[in-house]
Amino acid sequence: MKSSFYILPLLLAVASCQDILDKEPLGILDAGSFFQTSNDAVQALNAAYEPLLFNNNNNNFYWGFGELPSDEAVVGGDGSRPGLTELDFFTYTPRTEELNDFWKLNYQGITQCNTVIEKVPAITMDETLKSRIIGEATFLRAYYCFLLAQVFGDVPLLIKVTPPDELKVPATPKADVYRQIIADCDFAGNVLPVSYPATDLGRATKGAAYALAAKAHLYQKNWNQVLEYVNKVKDLNVYSLVPDYQNNFRENTQNNTESVWEIQHTNLELGVGNSLNQWWLSKKVVGGYGFAEVTQAYYDSFEAGDPRRQFTVASNNEPYFGVIYKNSFSSTKRSPRKYLQPDSTASQKDDGDINYTAIRYAEVLLWEAEALAELGRPGEAEAPLEQVRARARTQASNPATALPAVTGRDQAAMIQAVRHERSVELGFEMHRFFDLVRWGIAGQVLPDFQAGKHEVFPLPQTEIDLNPQLRQNPGY
């Protein structure tokens, strides 16, 4: 189901985050006069979703951090974005444009969330709606904080509308950022609904809040807490794997029962579409940039008969969004398929309406399997792992022989099986590099990775120049 609320730009909310240190914050300047009605509150909240989008306006290259340094992808394109090449070859610096843009974008989101959280309580309006709006903003703040900590490590934790003279603060230790994320998710989980009507699909839900808390615990290796929050998600009884894996990446089958947290994009020619449709499409196709290409190693990592390989990766002589894919379409002879669509379904190449599936229920099941395996309970990890493999097996050309159940493994073997399944199930969903880092094996897999440096990216130099309290990450 595609119907969802539209994230349209709100002029009140789009001051850049580089300006945070230079101007009075929105909450002090004019938010008091803006926040008068419930409609004002909803508009301000909608603007808090805007930095999530993968569009040209945002220059949101989060995908570049998750994919290009990993073993799934190499950089393609025409060299027009040198920062992407730097990400691929680990030559990025504090002046890399994509890092600076990402920092500003997420702090823009946090500032907007804090404004909503502080200003909406004073509005005379329906209390149920008020509570939901505050819950959504609190969840979104947690999500933006998670992204910043995932990419940069220790970052300033801003949880209130703050005057400029109080913004020059040191970075907060990542462990404390995670604690705030989990506290925000707990608050949001208590007030958010389990689901929404069609007109509001894509808003933060109770399940999204619990799932993000589980992910924050996953990154800290708090395995028992991962299981606690996974069970909260499962106990809502609204999530299940869709029978067709590809329905997670098709225009008219999105926001389905597998969707836990999905970033909405809409082809309205208003800057709210998905530019991955252009960025990842082979440059041999009219309008494509081909910024990401699939490595042969990733292609070869799929088990024989796994249909997800063809669902994820385009190869020679296969149908490819209105054309037939050829080896010449990529330097690696492979290109990603996810988040792309044919021209017949999008009026502009850079304004697609395939959503970004930030958290799928399949991933929640794999978190459960990973936590159980890490706790020395490999037998219990078999069931959630099998749920994911079984869905793929049913779509194989020969289900009787494809993807046999993983059983009887010891702890080490089960951990490896779960890690493999994450790679093939979630390929090009922007997780791989971060997985390699949190597992502590990036240095073994990635030749240019330097332990003690590349676990996090450098803080933008512009931010350090503005805030002398910040300290650059080691090695940069």
Q: What is the DSSP string of 163-202?
A: -GGG---PPBPHHHHHHHHHHHHHHHHHHS-S---GGGTT
**The pLDDT value given to residue 15:** 37
Q: Would you state the pLDDT for residue 3? A: 55
| Burial degree of 147 (CB within 10 A; 0-12, 13-18, 19+) | buried
pLDDT one-digit tens code per residue, 389-410: 999 999 999 999 999 999 999 9
d(CA 163, CA 152): 24
Residue 11 banded pLDDT, cuts 50, 70, 90 = very low
The domain segmentation of the chain, as residue ranges, is 13-59+93-229
16-19: long-range contacts (C-beta < 8 A, 24 or more apart)?
A: 16/104, 16/108, 17/103, 17/104, 17/105, 17/106, 17/107, 17/108, 17/111, 18/104, 18/462, 18/463, 18/466
Distance CA 44, CA 112 (A): 8
Q: Encoding tokens for residue 261? A: 């947290």
Q: Is residue 10's pLDDT more than 60? A: no
Strand partners, 359: 261
Indicate whether 325 pLDDT > 50. Answer: yes
Q: What is the pLDDT of residue 424?
A: 98
Q: Tell me what pLDDT residue 23 has.
A: 38
Closest CA to 425 of 256, 301, 331, 334: 301
Q: Find the mean pLDDT for residues 166-186.
A: 97
pLDDT higher than 60, residue 28: no
How far apart are alpha carbons 267 and 272 in whole angstroms? Answer: 7
- The predicted pLDDT at position 475 comes to 98
Residue 261: which H helix or E strand, with range?
A: strand 259-263
* Short-list 341, 329, 324, CA closest to 292: 329
* Per-residue confidence (pLDDT) for residue 13, from 0 to 100: 37
**pTM of the predicted structure, to 2 decimals:** 0.95
Q: What is the pLDDT of residue 391?
A: 98
What was the pLDDT predicted at 22?
A: 43
Q: Which residue has the tokens 């389990």?
A: 194
Mean pLDDT of 342-368: 95
C-alpha distances out from residue 22 to 16, 18, 72, 96, 165, Å: 10, 8, 40, 22, 9
Residue 18 scores a pLDDT above 70: no
Q: What pLDDT is recorded for position 270? A: 83
pLDDT at 364 > cutoff 60: yes
Task: Tell me what the mean pLDDT of segment 139-148 comes to.
Answer: 98
Torsion of CA 283, 285, 286, 289, to 10 degrees: -20
Nearest-angstrom CA–CA distance, 119 and 29: 12
User: What class does CATH assign to 13-59+93-229?
Assistant: mainly alpha
Q: Write down the pLDDT at residue 269.
A: 83
Mean pLDDT, residues 44-69 taken together:
96
What is d(CA 96, CA 3) in angstroms, rounded to the nearest whole number?
Answer: 37
Round the average pLDDT of the chain to a whole number and report it: 94
Residue range 196-214: average pLDDT?
A: 97
